[in-house]
Amino acid sequence: MIDDQARSLRTMSRNKQVKVVAITGGKGGVGKTSVTLNTAIACAKLGRRVLVLDADLGLANVDVMLGLRVERNLSHVLNGDCTLDEILVTGPHGIKIAPATSGTKSMAELSAHEHAGLIRAFGELKTPIDLMLIDTAAGISDMVVSFSRAAQDVVLVVCDEPTSLTDAYALIKILNREQGVFKFKIIANTVRSEREGKELFSKLSKVTTRFLDVALELIAIVPFDENVRKAVRKQSAIVEAFPASPASKAINKLAIDMQHWPMPAQAGGHLEFFIENLVSLHD
Ligand SMILES: Nc1ncnc2c1ncn2[C@@H]1O[C@H](COP(=O)(O)OP(=O)(O)OP(=O)(O)O)[C@@H](O)[C@H]1O
């Protein structure tokens, strides 16, 4: 039933190409949410129609970081109380944020009915988007693995702390060995210099290429920048509040680079395809 539904939805939206990027990190507190929201805003400034799927701790993040009021989340969509469009909140430069927290349930615990509901919700999304960034939860839960496996690009945010590197390695290992993901994009966050960022990448790269069959690419070096916290205190994003700040420059450069990332091939370029992938892991 889910297959039929997804197929028909895919046929219905042939022209809707959406790039889906999962932003994850293994360890919590590495700056995943800051990077996701700021990248979303920077991409929106470049004309992209961006949806952030907030699969992190959900409400608190969006609330605290951008001062937005969130009342409903994906669980209300799954319950049939409202549509996906109705739970979206609008952030700076028109970015849309979908609070994805569905109670305490992980994707693995959703019923077949809820799976179908999820596919339908994305299939029926009327808000036009061409980039979806998923802010995954911290850790290596089923949900994180599912989102990363189903996305077209997996971005890992790491910082120069032993636990960040070991957790990133553990996540890469699981995604590679169990889910066949072999390409990972790395963001070195809160580093003191460009050199430190490159060294951090090199440490992770050495250990992963030695033990796993993966390809890692360093896509951004975001320096430690006091203005990231200052922006949060102002309930704003650094690319908005302090656009000339070093971290803003790094994020803006990343957003420009992202415009050159290849769009998905036609067959996989639909949101339904992403969700189909997501739920099929647990069928
Ligand atoms: N480049 C940076 N420079 C300085 N501080 C930063 C930087 N990036 C993030 N931070 C700060 O680090 C803290 C953690 O950031 P954030 O909440 O984005 O991390 P996270 O990985 O999403 O955490 P969690 O998974 O626990 O939600 C925040 O206080 C944030 O302001």
Of 146, 137, 151, 210, give the one whose Cα is nearest residue 178. 146
The single residue listed with the structure tokens 């440490």 is: 203
* From the candidate CATH numbers 2.30.110.10, 3.40.50.300, 3.30.56.10, 1.10.40.30, the one assigned to the domain spanning 2-280: 3.40.50.300
Query: What's residue 106's pLDDT?
Result: 54
Q: What number is the average pLDDT over the span 257-266?
A: 80
Amino acid at 92: P
Query: What's residue 15's pLDDT?
Result: 43
Q: How far is the CA of 189 from the centre of ligand 1 (A)?
A: 9
Distance (Å, whole) CA 78 – CA 120: 10
pLDDT above 80: residue 116: no
269 lines ligand 1 (CB under 6 A): no
Q: Kindly report the protein residue whose alpha carbon is nearest to atom 31 of ligand 1.
A: 229
Maximum mean pLDDT: which of 72-76, 100-104, 111-115, 203-207: 203-207
153 lines ligand 1 (CB under 6 A): no
More confident residue, 116 or 19: 19
How does residue 271 score in pLDDT terms, banded at 50, 70 and 90? low
Lowest mean pLDDT among 22-36, 96-110, 220-234, 269-283: 269-283
| Helix residue ranges, H only, the chain | 2-12, 32-45, 59-66, 74-78, 84-87, 112-123, 142-150, 162-179, 194-211, 226-233, 238-241, 246-258, 271-280
Residues 150, 155, 160, CA angle at the centre, nearest 5°? 145
Q: Which of 23, 30, 32, 34 to mutate to test the pocket of ligand 1 (most atoms within 8 A of CB)?
A: 34
247 lines ligand 1 (CB under 6 A): yes
Lowest mean pLDDT among 71-85, 180-194, 219-233: 71-85
pTM value is 0.87
Q: How far is the CA of 177 from the centre of ligand 1 (A)?
A: 29
Q: How far is the CA of 34 from the centre of ligand 1 (A)?
A: 6
User: 96: which strand partners?
Assistant: 51, 90
| Atom of ligand 1 minimally distant from the CA of 30 | 21
Q: What number is the average pLDDT over the span 69-82?
A: 82
Q: How far is the CA of 28 from the centre of ligand 1 (A)?
A: 9
Query: What's residue 280's pLDDT?
Result: 55
Distance (Å, whole) CA 231 – CA 208: 35
**What six digits make up the tokens of 237?**
């994003």
Q: DSSP letter for 268, please.
A: G
Q: DSSP letter for 264, please.
A: P
User: pLDDT digits over 17-51, tens only?
Assistant: 788 899 998 788 899 989 999 999 999 999 999 99
Amino acid at 204: L
User: 191: which strand partners?
Assistant: 223
Taking each helix axis from N to C terminus, what angle separates 32-45 and 246-258, rounded to the nearest 10 degrees? Answer: 60
Distance (Å, whole) CA 34 – CA 245: 14
Q: Kindly report the protein residue whose alpha carbon is nearest to atom 29 of ligand 1.
A: 229
Lowest mean pLDDT among 82-96, 141-155, 213-227, 247-261: 141-155
ipTM rounded to 2 decimals: 0.97
Distance (Å, whole) CA 50 – CA 42: 10
26 lines ligand 1 (CB under 6 A): no
Spell out the domain ranges in the chain: 2-280
| Atom of ligand 1 minimally distant from the CA of 37 | 18
Q: How far is the CA of 30 from the centre of ligand 1 (A)?
A: 5
User: 157: which strand partners?
Assistant: 187
